[in-house]
A = this chain, B = another copy of it.
């Protein structure tokens, strides 16, 4: 492809609303343009990268036995009524009425549609297992879309759905997808981690997220440095042993704590450590008043708390509710005499003595609380807090690290959540009706492109892994007005294309500096400079964008030497082009 025929509107400046590096660079590299909040057009270069990711995703999905279909983006509301998600999904679901006033939504996910399809087609165990996937634009009406392709409203997703006859089959399907996802992110040249995850509002039994590691990631993950353990922070269990106090401590007393609302203020006022204070957090759980107790220096993990309560909707108590349940304004809640249905406490404070808690009275706290002795209501203990780097690995007790990550894939074992709600049954070998066991598996294809950039960039622009770059190689013809130089550049271009690297020939009538800058900005992994001086001396300069290393290759043996050097560039990424053995790199 010739640059002069290609629309690549690079920019010197990023737009003011671009907050993260991938957003800035995608705009500056002429890959995407914003239409409106959270909605982008893919320009030719952006679409090329998107398609490269999608192609690798498709290849690995097909290899794993999944079959590609294409479901509609407009979905009838009545299917969502069947699963209860028409109510439950909230405002992220973009609802539409057609000209006849019937309810539809713009698909944010396709469990309902695919289950409706399969229940109409499959009636015997002989037709199972089946795994159907699609690559499609989806829509989620995010309350605050931001970060370009990282959290858009319209985005490209690969979603797959497996149907099995029994649990063993469903686990095999899950494992096949887990393996396919690992293969996909490896082939893309990304540094990633599969981590244990909570299955969230989509429901189901167990799940893993695939995280691209990047400092700018919105998620934090807990990774063990001794064993294989890795989990999303929401999920990571705290398992450290808690030693109960041996004495029951002094008698509880009420103390005045005027104008101390936060744990910090209370601890400072009473001259105790934050870990000697217990936070009492109040929530409305499906209409019931509930309280969570955690140590003052810890953070409540909402997901764990919600799972422990087994409730559908959990919201922070309003100031009015706090007043009603505690008899005091916000800031003085405590477990003694609290009017709530359930009190759950974090495992860490089981057997705690000599703690400070709110007294359910304005400007007042209780000192020397002994939980078992002083709280009349039943207190249940559970793992409720967010894990920290000081906690041991829940598997092996090893040291944890907590890198940042970007979620790019998610695999769920759904079980019978949807097949039960939608009556998706089949006849087993004994002629007995059974519910299908489902799994669902998503990859944020457009987010993968952005996370490539979050992980791989420098001050000059994007550093694309070869499989994701819009073109793997660019030939910079420094003097395209001279027929001889352009002819030589075309020759080089043809050799590189023939070697299997899709290549762009920069034949623009522009200064060399502009060409170098644009090449680094878009981040073509391989950059070949064809200039007058080099051609005279029989050499071209080859630059590896990742390392910045330049070598000179002679024109005489260019084909042979280029193939070897290209292989080195791929090896540097921990990749091979095609099925060559990676060991051969070393």
Interface 1/0s, chain A 96-135, versus B by CB < 8 A? 1011000000100000010011001100000000101000
Contacts of A50 in B (CB 8 A): 70
Residue A42 at the chain B interface, CB threshold 8 Å: yes
Residue A564 at the chain B interface, CB threshold 8 Å: no
In the complex, A569→B47 CA distance in Å? 37
In the complex, the answer to whether A76 meets B35 with C-beta atoms within 8 Å is yes
Residue A351 at the chain B interface, CB threshold 8 Å: no
238-267 of chain A: CB within 8 A of chain B = none
Select the stretch in A2-10, A389-397, A459-467 that faces chain B. A2-10
Interface centre among A73, A91, A99, A120 (most CB of B within 10 A): A99
Q: In the assembly, how many copies of this chain are there?
A: 2
Interface 1/0s, chain A 78-104, versus B by CB < 8 A? 000000000000011010101100000
In the complex, the answer to whether B73 meets A73 with C-beta atoms within 8 Å is yes
In the complex, the answer to whether A72 meets B154 with C-beta atoms within 8 Å is yes
Contacts of A225 in B (CB 8 A): none
In the complex, A113→B33 CA distance in Å? 11
A76-B36, A94-B98, A96-B96 known; A42-B69 Cβ under 8 A: yes
- The size of the chain A interface, using a CB distance under 8 A, is 47
In the complex, the answer to whether A74 meets B106 with C-beta atoms within 8 Å is yes
In the complex, the answer to whether B106 meets A99 with C-beta atoms within 8 Å is no
Residue A205 at the chain B interface, CB threshold 8 Å: no
In the complex, the answer to whether A5 meets B65 with C-beta atoms within 8 Å is yes
In the complex, the answer to whether B67 meets A42 with C-beta atoms within 8 Å is no
**Min CB distance, A142 to chain B, in Å?**
9
Interface 1/0s, chain A 560-578, versus B by CB < 8 A? 0000000000000000000
Contacts of A76 in B (CB 8 A): 35-36
Across the interface, name the chain B residue whose C-beta is closest to A153: B74
In the complex, the answer to whether B9 meets A121 with C-beta atoms within 8 Å is yes
With A44-B68, A47-B68, A47-B69 given, name 5 new contacts (CB 8 A). Answer: A33-B120, A73-B139, A74-B94, A74-B106, A96-B96
A–B pairs, 5, beta carbons within 8 Å = A7-B67, A33-B121, A43-B69, A73-B139, A74-B94
